Amino acid sequence: MKKFTIPNIYRSSLISGIKEKRKAADKFKKDYTPTNLNFGPIQIYLARHFGFCYGVENAIEIAFNTINNNPDKHIYLLSEMIHNPQVNADLVSRGVRFLQDTYGKQLISFDALTADDIVIIPAFGTTLAIEQALRNKGIAVEKYNTTCPFVEKVWNRSEQIAQKGYSIVVHGKPKHEETRATFSHASANTPTIIVNDMAETIELAKYMTGEKQRETFYDEFKGRYSEGFDITKDLQHIGVVNQTTQLATDTQAISDYLKDVVKNIYQLTNDTIGQHFADTRDTLCYATNDNQTAVTGMLATPADIAIVIGGHNSSNSSHLVELCENKLPTYFIDSPDRLVSKEQITHCNWQTKTYSEIEHYLPNKTPLKILMTSGASCPDAIVEQVIRKLAVFYGVEDKVAEFIQLYS
């Protein structure tokens, strides 16, 4: 896999050493047990896979190279590069300005742009309409496009099955940049609808079976379907694709559910299901799969709490929190500053995105066992800083240097 050049401020000698040793010992990714950093009074178990993925490193490399190579240009980001506050703040500090917020609200009008300006497309991709609006201004969209190749893979798969006459069901968060982009690309080729979760999928299926009347569909799924969508015929042949950072088990469950619905409606067998249900295969990115599987493996280790590090609007990070919360007390933070003290942590609710101060989050026991992972847009340096701060709380910060030497 390609190696990227990213700023050293995001690197960690400790984490890099751990990852390299694990990779060398497990080339085929079969061992999902966590790495134990035994500090004595506190033991930290790091997930087998976590942190920056291919798409994130690619986006960061392009963004920082663009800044360094164009000191006299106005440089804009269409929206957040990735869902990480430190990276986005670093870009702003280097003069980059955001045209939109993460939900698509315009912060700077496209009318303010000129053909001499640079606009970087984020890793999530963007809609065809926005691409065209930028081209109309003379902006070289393709030159500074950091769209993740695994997102583009979903777009390509959507186009392939659209050409065979299938409509697209997108499993994704409707307001997420990637879902909006995927919906745009899919709906340019075929009728397309977004479902957020299994509950919405079940309601959608009721229109397919006739349990619900077509008239209510257009209000219930307002803003989720493509122009001209006909509920009476556009779900007769379907394929399911997804926002790449969704829980793999959720996407699979949605796909299996709709497949069974189609089977029953048209009295199909496994041999004939392809007449109405497309084989879209897995469209989750490798990092999402690896990180989620690593968390499952990590959770097999008895522990007291879990800490997940990542941007609070990061979908893939939120799903890691969701997995951990099913097993043990879990705290979601985006920086070591959220570890206020040994007695208090500022925790983010992954569902509501609201913050709360939690007292006595570290159980009073020895040794204290903590499971730890991070999202695909979280720098390894942040993970090391969190580890160091916990070590300081227990007076064992000198052991960090020992671990760096051990894994070097």
Which residues are designated catalytic? 178
User: Is the Cβ–Cβ distance between 178 and 125 less than 8 Å?
Assistant: yes
Task: Name the one residue in this structure whose structure tokens are 């700023």.
Answer: 7
Whether the CB-CB separation of 374 and 294 falls below 8 Å is answered with no
Identity of residue 234: D
Alpha carbons 77 and 64: distance in angstroms, whole number = 12
Tell me how far apart the alpha carbons of residues 78 and 127 are, in angstroms, rounded to a whole number.
11
The answer to whether residues 376 and 287 touch, using CB atoms and an 8 Å cutoff, is yes
CA dihedral 11, 15, 17, 22 (to 10 degrees): -130
Nearest to 244 by CA among 163, 181, 325, 296: 181
